[in-house]
């Protein structure tokens, strides 16, 4: 069943979200602080039975100089630097197994999958990057960790890590730094959208059912996690509602969309009860670069799944292999 607006209403919908006045100063200061630490990427080959793809364990210094782990995959047969795709994974997942996620490397790209710090305990393969920063009281899950102050909020660290991941892949001798794109689904789509708003000169971007967009609306119209973590937190802390949404103003995908200019593909399932489609359309309408969106009428949070990827992959090939 439809969980949100129908398609004609989605095309008309515009979010009322307004970011904080110091949004740009907050993020420029955060990234300047992170860049005070040497990026120091290290690339270690991983032995696998794969014949056409090489796998490397890449580590770099993220927020606070903390080590962030990634898988970097590349075609074995290559001549010279290649275009790269940086991918961010879904909520509570991790970078997974070295044999996972072979699509982009099989299509001829260098492919980096960043491990989201502190997550990765919910799925096979899991994650390998701890979050050494503590936080105050939170609802079970990750979404409310440090949420009463934007400087302490967990996604400040995650989004900073993600920007540094693009910087790390651009330093790799395997990669042409001028031909890098970002992709992600759900939480990964929200992270990719933040990166698109924070990193200049990206070649392409793909956001499937992006999380953390139009967040206040999302909490009011969905009864599914992870947004229910916010509702649970605020049900117990009734006097913190405005404080919490003031923090979230620095992390909402609408604000990043207003600052992004890479050619972008969005997708949404009209039956998505996790990330309601109006929140994806809110980000899409705010996006300042060239953009397309696909609404999958009878799909939920998969937002078209592999069929959606089949639309985007040739577009990435054209943009990243031949340049914008």
Buried b (16+ CB within 10 A) or exposed e, 250-284: bbbbbbbbebbbbbbbbbbbbbbbbbbbbbbbbbb
Q: Mapping DSSP to helix (H, G, I), strand (E, B) and coil, where does residue 317 land?
A: helix
Backbone dihedral region for residue 80 (phi beyond 0: left; psi -120 to 50: alpha; all else: beta) = left
**Across the strands, what pairs with 182?**
86, 205
User: What's the pLDDT score for residue 124?
Assistant: 58
Eight-class DSSP state of 120:
-
* 62 φ, ψ (degrees, to nearest 5): -95, -145
Backbone dihedral region for residue 302 (phi beyond 0: left; psi -120 to 50: alpha; all else: beta) = alpha
Q: Catalytic residue among 89, 214, 301, 308, which?
A: 301
Q: Catalytic residue among 272, 278, 285, 308, which?
A: 272
User: What's the pLDDT score for residue 122?
Assistant: 73
User: What's the pLDDT score for residue 161?
Assistant: 98
Q: Is 301 a catalytic residue?
A: yes
Q: Is 186 a catalytic residue?
A: yes
Query: What number of other Cβ atoms are within 10 A of residue 43's Cβ?
Result: 16
Q: Mapping DSSP to helix (H, G, I), strand (E, B) and coil, where does residue 82 land?
A: strand
Helix (H) or strand (E) holding 7: helix 7-12
> What pTM was computed for the model?
0.97
Note the pLDDT tens digit of each residue in 89-147. Answer: 999 999 999 999 999 999 999 999 999 999 987 765 689 999 999 778 788 899 999 99
Query: What number of other Cβ atoms are within 10 A of residue 142's Cβ?
Result: 21
- The CA distance from 156 to 159, in Å, is 5
Q: Catalytic residue among 93, 186, 267, 278, which?
A: 186
- The CA distance from 285 to 196, in Å, is 15
Interhelix angle 154-171/23-34, rounded to 10 degrees, is 60
- Integer distance in angstroms from the first to the last C-alpha of the chain? 39
Domains of the chain: 7-40+81-91+132-322 (3.40.50.1820)
| Tokens linked to 222 | 């969905």
User: What's the pLDDT score for residue 143?
Assistant: 97
- Pair 228, 204: CB distance under 8 Å: no
Which segments of the chain have a pLDDT < 50? none
User: What's the pLDDT score for residue 41?
Assistant: 97
User: What's the pLDDT score for residue 324?
Assistant: 57
- Which residues contact residue 208 at a Cβ distance below 8 angstroms, ignoring those fewer than 6 apart? 183, 184, 185, 186, 188, 189, 266, 267, 303, 304, 308
């Amino acid at each position: 069943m439809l969980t949100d607006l129908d398609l004609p209403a989605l095309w008309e919908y515009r979010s009322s979200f307004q970011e904080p006045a110091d949004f740009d100063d907050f993020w420029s200061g955060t990234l300047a602080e992170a860049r005070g630490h040497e990026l120091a990427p290290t690339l270690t080959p991983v032995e696998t039975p794969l014949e056409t793809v090489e796998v490397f364990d890449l580590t770099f210094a993220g927020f606070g100089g903390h080590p962030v782990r990634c898988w970097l995959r590349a075609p074995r047969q290559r001549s010279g630097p290649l275009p790269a795709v940086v991918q961010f994974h879904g909520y509570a997942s991790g970078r997974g197994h070295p044999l996972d996620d072979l699509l982009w490397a099989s299509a001829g790209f260098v492919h980096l999958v960043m491990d989201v710090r502190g997550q990765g305990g919910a799925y096979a393969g899991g994650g390998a990057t701890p979050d050494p920063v503590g936080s105050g009281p939170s609802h079970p899950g990750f979404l409310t960790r440090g949420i009463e102050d934007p400087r302490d909020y967990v996604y400040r660290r995650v989004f900073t890590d993600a920007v540094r991941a693009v910087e790390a892949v651009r330093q790799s001798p395997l990669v042409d730094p001028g031909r890098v794109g970002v992709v992600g689904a759900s939480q990964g789509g929200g992270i990719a959208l933040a990166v698109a708003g924070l990193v200049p000169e990206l070649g392409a971007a793909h956001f499937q059912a992006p999380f953390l967009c139009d967040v206040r609306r999302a909490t009011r119209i969905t009864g599914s996690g992870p947004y229910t973590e916010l509702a649970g937190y605020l049900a117990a802390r009734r006097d913190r509602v405005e404080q919490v949404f003031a923090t979230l103003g620095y992390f909402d995908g609408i604000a990043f969309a207003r600052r992004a200019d890479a050619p972008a593909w969005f997708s949404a399932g009209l039956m998505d009860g996790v990330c309601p489609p109006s929140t994806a359309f809110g980000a899409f309408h705010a996006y300042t670069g060239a953009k397309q969106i696909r609404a999958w009428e009878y799909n939920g949070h998969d937002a078209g799944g592999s069929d959606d990827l089949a639309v985007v992959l040739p577009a990435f090939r054209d943009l990243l292999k031949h340049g914008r």
